[in-house]
């Protein structure tokens, strides 16, 4: 895997994990008002799963990532494709 590909996958993983973490927070604090104390919350299964995949890819140099590891990341991102944007969409080219 190339370094650029790894960077793109990591960026997309960050977007998906952020989405799920925000949903976990909102589930624990549904009616949060300014100045009100926030309730502690735990991360859900999808958030934890995304973090495990990210840590796996982050800990391996790009040239040592196996096809199996890359397939795990791409499968997770495909399932959660609604929560990340393509770079072309972010730049307004679509």
- pLDDT per residue as tens digits for the range 53-92: 999 988 988 889 899 998 999 999 999 888 877 654 555 4
Domain extent at residue 82: 3-30+39-90
pLDDT band at 46 (very low <50, low <70, confident <90, very high): very high
Q: Give all strands (DSSP E) within 1-94, no chain letters.
A: none
What CA–CA distance (Å, rounded) separates 6 from 1? 7
How many structural domains compose the chain?
1
Give Cβ neighbours of residue 3 (< 8 Å, ≥ 6 apart): 62
**Residue 3 — pLDDT band, cuts 50, 70, 90?**
confident
Give dist(CA 45, CA 28) in Å, integer: 15
The two structure tokens encoding residue 32: 């949060």
């Amino acid at each position: 895997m190339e370094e650029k590909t790894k960077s793109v996958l990591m960026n997309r993983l960050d977007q998906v994990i952020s989405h799920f973490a925000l949903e976990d927070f909102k589930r624990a604090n549904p009616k949060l008002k300014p100045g009100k104390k926030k309730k502690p919350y735990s991360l859900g299964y999808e958030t934890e799963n995304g973090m495990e995949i990210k840590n796996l890819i982050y800990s391996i140099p790009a040239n040592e990532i196996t096809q199996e590891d890359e397939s795990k990341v791409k499968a997770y991102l495909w399932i959660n494709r609604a929560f990340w944007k393509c770079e072309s969409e972010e730049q307004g080219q679509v």
